[in-house]
Structure 1
Amino acid sequence: MYQTLDIERQGAVATLWMNRPDVFNAFDEQLIADLHAACTALDADDSVRIVVLAGRGKHFSAGADLNWMKRASGYTEAENRADALRFAGMLRALSGMRKPTIARVQGAALGGGTGLTAACDMAIASEDASFATSEVKFGIIPAVISPYVLRAIGPRHALRYFQSAERIGARRALEMGLVGEVVPLQDLDAAVQKLADTLLTCGPGAQFAAKQLVGAVNARPIDDATTEETARRIAAQRATEEAKDGITAFLDKRPPQWMAQA
């Protein structure tokens, strides 16, 4: 179905493999279009509970394809805006999925590769992984990926790395919050599988509601409006059939329905 992607299914876990290893899974128009379409399709598939984003070969993604960058350098401002909106739409489709997303990162994750990592809900990296918001080295800025990277590392780190384009090693990325776990390369798949298995024990509707909760509450003051908002959200979730089954299952010492269906 896709020119630049492979999708592997293992039960309720779908792994979305970027498959351009000859160019280190660098972005071009086709990969962006394929990623957007695949994220949309997987999000609509209720048999998929977890989405893992990965890259074939030695590297997760080396960022923008040089040929794509060369073409873009000749675009008008309007053409560049349309091109950037396609990239932004893909990242938003990935970030906004109703199900948990995990970035499986090895090797280089530069520019847009850092953006992809940050757009996923969580990320596990191998010890050889490295990141960079390298755009300023080319006289451009990491504009489209900035909302996701800022969400992950905060404005103080962003002020440095957006301007310096320094390489960020896996351990430093862990300290900054860009990734949640760093493991030896040979243990990367096992670590991703362990996290996916943990996620599958939780209610899918509750997971999406929890993702929305983070977006709604983050950076808000703890005031009457926030108190009312959080109370409204838990009340709505408690009234769902999923919540009723989850609580009953715990009291009855049985697995909830979503685990039986996984």
Structure 2
Amino acid sequence: MSNGSLYTHIQNNIATVEFYHPASNSMPSELLDRLTVAFNELSKNKDVHVIILKSEQDKTFCAGASFNELITISTIEEGKQFFLGFANVLNAMRNCSKLIIGRVQGKAIGGGVGLVAACDYCFATEQAAIKLSEFTIGIGPFVIAPFVKRKIGVAALSELTLDATSWQNAYWAKEKGLFAKVFETIREMDLEVENLALKLSKYNPDSLKEMKKALWKDTNNWEVLLAKRAEISGKLVLSEFTKKNLQKFKK
């Protein structure tokens, strides 16, 4: 449980991928690796027509990178490998042959915003505020930036990145295109998630697959791009500025 948990459930051609970590659904390397494997396997599963991505509990959707693991990074290679964990998950979602519905019940921070942006369609509650806080510890949202930019544009990405201490509410995120719909309650959101997933599960799977390709057209170079971005983050996490700020977090 210290490395989190991941469950995949398949019913009626709908796969539900649910992750959890006791530290506000943050992401250590092991959980990132398991998510990558899950999306790669579901992509090849003919019994799956659509995927729902969700997290456990009713507060934070995903708090991003595991700070406990960031603190332990001591070499550039270790840093690169950690951020490659996020790159691999996002690329697995992008390359997945199935459409992915995001179910966002609470706040998303840093890499959590990246997970949301990598979904093909997202529902959220009013509690689903977002923030890119990477600048505050001396790194930046380099790995997730292509996904976030694709959804909300350069101006909104700049606003989120540069104003690193401010939350943007769910309606701001909807206006920018990150969320398709925002609901007052989790129950209302879950009904809509289930309704859309059931509809999609009954459509021609070949049609859904081709639509997925069309939605992610012109992103074939992102395997290489994200690897380069992971290396940038891996170097920055070892800077004196970042080390000092991570130690403040540890204390």
TM-score higher than 0.5 here?
Answer: yes
How far the C-alpha of 1:8 sits from its partner, in A, is 2.2
Matched residue, 1:61: 62
Alignment pair present for 1:202 and 2:189: no
Matched residue, 1:104: 103
Match for 1:63: what amino acid? G
Matched residue, 2:41: 41
Question: Separation in 1 of the partners of 2:95 and 2:132?
Answer: 22
Matched residue, 1:26: 26
Question: Separation in 1 of the partners of 2:105 and 2:207?
Answer: 30
Match for 2:36: what amino acid? H
How far the C-alpha of 1:161 sits from its partner, in A, is 1.0
How far the C-alpha of 1:143 sits from its partner, in A, is 0.8
Secondary structure in 1 matching 2:9: strand
Match for 1:34: what amino acid? R
Matched residue, 1:89: 88
Alignment pair present for 1:151 and 2:183: no
How many residue pairs get aligned? The number is: 214
Question: Separation in 1 of the partners of 2:215 and 2:105?
Answer: 27
Match for 2:212: what amino acid? K
Matched residue, 1:237: none
How far the C-alpha of 1:190 sits from its partner, in A, is 0.4
Structure 1 outlier segments of 4+, above 4 Å: none
Matched residue, 1:116: 115
Match for 2:10: what amino acid? R
How far the C-alpha of 1:54 sits from its partner, in A, is 0.4
Matched residue, 2:217: 216
Secondary structure in 2 matching 1:168: coil
My pick for the range that moved more, 165-174 or 75-84, is 75-84
**Aligned-residue identity in percent:** 32
Match for 1:188: what amino acid? M
Question: Separation in 2 of the partners of 1:112 and 1:169?
Answer: 17
My pick for the range that moved more, 5-14 or 33-42, is 5-14
Query: What's the TM-score, normalizing by structure 1?
Result: 0.77
How far the C-alpha of 1:34 sits from its partner, in A, is 0.9
How far the C-alpha of 1:9 sits from its partner, in A, is 2.4
Matched residue, 1:170: 170
Superposed CA offset, 1:162-209 (max 9, x none):
111221111111001011111122212101011112222322112221
Q: Is the 8 A contact 2:152 2:176 kept in 1?
A: yes
TM alignment of 1:127-146, pairs within 5 A: 127-146=126-145
Match for 2:37: what amino acid? A
How far the C-alpha of 1:14 sits from its partner, in A, is 1.0
How far the C-alpha of 1:107 sits from its partner, in A, is 1.2
Matched residue, 1:238: none
Higher relative contact order (CA 8 A, sep 6+): 2
Q: Is the 8 A contact 1:3 1:34 kept in 2?
A: no
Question: Separation in 2 of the partners of 1:210 and 1:7?
Answer: 24
Superposed CA offset, 1:231-261 (max 9, x none):
xxxxxxxxxxxxxxxxxxxxxxxxxxxxxxx
Q: Is the 8 A contact 2:4 2:19 kept in 1?
A: no
Summarize the Cα distance change of 1:42–1:209 in structure 2 as closer, same or farther, 3 Å threshold. same
How far the C-alpha of 1:217 sits from its partner, in A, is 6.8
Question: Separation in 1 of the partners of 2:214 and 2:104?
Answer: 26
Question: Separation in 2 of the partners of 1:65 and 1:81?
Answer: 14
Secondary structure in 2 matching 1:23: coil
Question: Separation in 2 of the partners of 1:118 and 1:184?
Answer: 21
Q: Is the 8 A contact 1:174 1:180 kept in 2?
A: yes
Question: Separation in 2 of the partners of 1:134 and 1:14?
Answer: 31
Superposed CA offset, 1:18-75 (max 9, x none):
122x211101011101101111111111101111110001221111222012123xx2
Matched residue, 1:224: none
Secondary structure in 2 matching 1:128: coil
Match for 1:84: what amino acid? F
Question: Separation in 2 of the partners of 1:24 and 1:141?
Answer: 20
